Amino acid sequence: MGIRSAFLAALTMLFLAAPAARAHAFLDHANPAVGSTIHGVPAQVQIWFTQALEPAFTTVTITNEAGAQIDKGDKHVDANDPTLLEVSLPQLPPGDYTVNWHALSVDTHVTEGKFTFTIAP
């Protein structure tokens, strides 16, 4: 029974450690918030992830209702917070906007996704 208990304990520890080994940079929160309606145009879109990002292989674009890219193209990972991805916005009219992101975390896992926000009149 001692060997069986040791085996089960080792198996349990392996199972519990596995999620950390398979971690990915998932979207944690954003500003403007996912699905939000805001008044006024934000200076930038900020996206926080659950892991540090590889700046050279992480992208974000903001598109309007017609699918045209409208951000300033200056995306960057914050030097003081490697989980924060930012891109600047020009003055925008009211409407619906889509944030498209592609993230490579420092552990080499890739995730991608999109969300929308609305600028109210």
Q: Which residues contact 7 (CB under 8 A, 6 or more apart)?
A: none
**Predicted pLDDT at 107:** 87
Q: How many CB atoms lie within 10 A of CB 111?
A: 17
Collapse the DSSP code of 23 into the 3-class scheme (helix H, G, I; strand E, B; otherwise coil) and give the result. coil
**Predicted pLDDT at 36:** 98
**Predicted pLDDT at 5:** 54
Which parts of the chain register pLDDT below 70?
1-23
The size of the chain, in residues, is 121
Q: How many CB atoms lie within 10 A of CB 76?
A: 13
Prediction pTM value: 0.80
Domains of the chain plus CATH, in order, are 24-120 (2.60.40.1220)
**Predicted pLDDT at 2:** 61
